[in-house]
Amino acid sequence: MKAARFLIAPLCVFVALVTSLYSQAQAPAPASTPAGQAAGDAPHLQAPDNSKPSPNQNQLPPISITSGLVHLVVTVTDKHRSFITDLDQGDFKVLENGSPQDIRFFGRETDLPLRIGLLLDTSNSIRERLSFEQEAAIDFLNRTIRRNKDMAFLMTFDNEPEVVQNFTGDLALLTDAIHNQRAGGGTALHDAIYRASEILSNPPLPVGPDPEVRRVIVVISDGDDNLSDHALSEALESAIRSEIAIYAISTNTDWLAIDDA
């Protein structure tokens, strides 16, 4: 909700400026001194001016201000991490600095066309698990992409992120691109999320009267970033600005332990 505060400050400055100008316009102009009359001399009497100002005189033009909506993308799960999709507007509260905010519009986005950024870790740290990543990516796309509705692009990241397949709904193209990847190099995970968020901020939109889409990043990685120029906070902020939901499939095996007893 920080965007709301950014809108208020410029507005206050602008209103203060208009008020100052309006006060100057309303202040009576000093009486002019006729030629040949000293400043201390008594002024000559003049006939009163009975003319009336026009209705539009001394009126400033109306101020028009455009304010955009602040979208909040929310995903809700239960304690078993299953998605909850039947909530209504009354089930939500939005607070800013502890103050309740009005929810003007509410909608479920469960059936919107998807625009997916599939981020595949191809660094050296996942070399032994690359085949698992490829199988997981292909399985996800086959279960998710709906024909003539959803689109995805494939980005790999090692030393740097690279788009190896642009937006498409063709599963064959995406599958071939995934199979062709090899592992090697460092891990620039944060840079990949940052770059994918930029791409998803302006995706191809569906043809028709409703251009809304749901933006999603799916990361398949061990999460071990060691080469990014961007911090994790910058990457997440970029995703939030683009109204993106991020999902991760971890290939990290550090938590596994073998019980020798």
Query: What residue spans define the domains of the chain?
Result: 114-250
Among the ranges given (151-160, 192-201, 248-257), the one the predictor scored with the smallest mean pLDDT: 248-257
Residue 10 has pLDDT above 70, yes or no: no
Given a contact cutoff of 8 angstroms between Cβ atoms, the answer to whether 17 and 110 are in contact is: no
Q: Name the phi and psi angles at 104, rounded to 5.
A: -80, -35
pTM attached to this predicted model:
0.67
- pLDDT for res 1: 40
Strands 151-157 and 161-168: antiparallel
Most confidently modeled range among 94-108, 146-160, 208-222: 146-160
Query: Rounded to whole angstroms, how far apart are CA atoms 124 and 189?
Result: 13
Q: How far is CA 180 from the centre of its chain?
A: 32
CATH topology of domain 114-250: Rossmann fold (3.40.50)
What residues have CB less than 8 Å from 146, skipping those under 6 apart?
114
Closest CA to 75 of 87, 67, 64: 87
- pLDDT for res 15: 33
Q: How many CB atoms lie within 10 A of CB 53?
A: 8
Residue 173 has pLDDT above 60, yes or no: yes
pLDDT one-digit tens code per residue, 11-61: 333 333 333 333 444 444 444 444 444 444 545 555 555 555 555 556 777
